[in-house]
Amino acid sequence: MPLGLLGKKLGHTRVYDATGALIPVTVVLAGPNRVLQVKTQAGKDGYNSVQLGFDDQKEQRLSKALLGHIKKHNGAAVKRIREFRDFSKEVKPGEIIGATLFAVGDFIDAIGTTKGRGFEGVVKRHRFAGGDSTHGAKGFHRRNGAIGQRLFPGTVMRGMKMPGHMGQDTRTTQNLEVIQVHEVDNLLLIKGSIPGAEGDYVVIRESKKRPKGWKPPVVAVSKKKSAAAKPVAAKPEAAAKK
């Protein structure tokens, strides 16, 4: 996780690019992030990482252990703390970083918690087609059907898709492009959608598959002409007969 930020999903909108194309984007408040602690491989921790805090909080709302850890490194009380390993930018405890950590054209991975849907059936939860609505079907329109086995093994197989709790899962959306960076407001406008509801906390990290400086591969186009397009020279025997 070379570069990363803690943020809050604010909502969705649309912006125009330089060519006039309309792009749907998600607005993320990506700062200010406070550097709470810097761990090094040479130190007692044994690995390189940076601990970031986001969204100010009252001290009385934190546990004494967490508040003691923050004050030990001369930090301020925050609501969310996240550790990023192998942070490629050199920072110091107490430093503040924000949306300018990323630039327009960078690709990021967004990590968030999906919306909670409560108890749902198999049609909505697993996209089952359901049963027939006609031809004598009664009470089998949105059910999943038989789930057991015959004599062997005689039990319900583990992992069977059934009704149950849906949502509130951690999901990662990869390879999202940064369209705009608002330095003053610490806002990132990211192309596409991000898991979670408006107001939820998200993690914005540098894309694993498309890191900084990544460019799409150039596809070589063959310039071979078809045989039909080539002029066919007349044979000398045919010219003599004429």
pLDDT in tens, 62-104: 999 999 999 988 888 999 999 999 998 899 998 999 999 999 9
Compute the distance between CA of residue 101 and CA of residue 85 in angstroms, rounded to an integer.
16
**Which residues touch 171 (CB under 8 Å, ≥6 apart)?**
111, 112, 113, 114, 195
Average pLDDT, the chain: 89
Task: Please compute the mean of the pLDDT values over residues 149-174 and round it to a whole number.
Answer: 93
**Which residues touch 113 (CB under 8 Å, ≥6 apart)?**
168, 169, 170, 171, 195, 196, 200
Instruction: Classify domain 4-116+169-214 at the CATH superfamily level.
Output: Translation factors (2.40.30.10)
Compute the distance between CA of residue 14 and CA of residue 16 in angstroms, rounded to an integer.
7
Greatest alpha-carbon pair distance for the chain in Å reads 107
What is the per-residue pLDDT for 236? 59
> Domain locations in the chain?
4-116+169-214, 117-166
**What would the two tokens of residue 61 be?**
């709302």
What is the per-residue pLDDT for 193? 94
Assess contact for 209 and 175: CB atoms under 8 A. Answer: yes
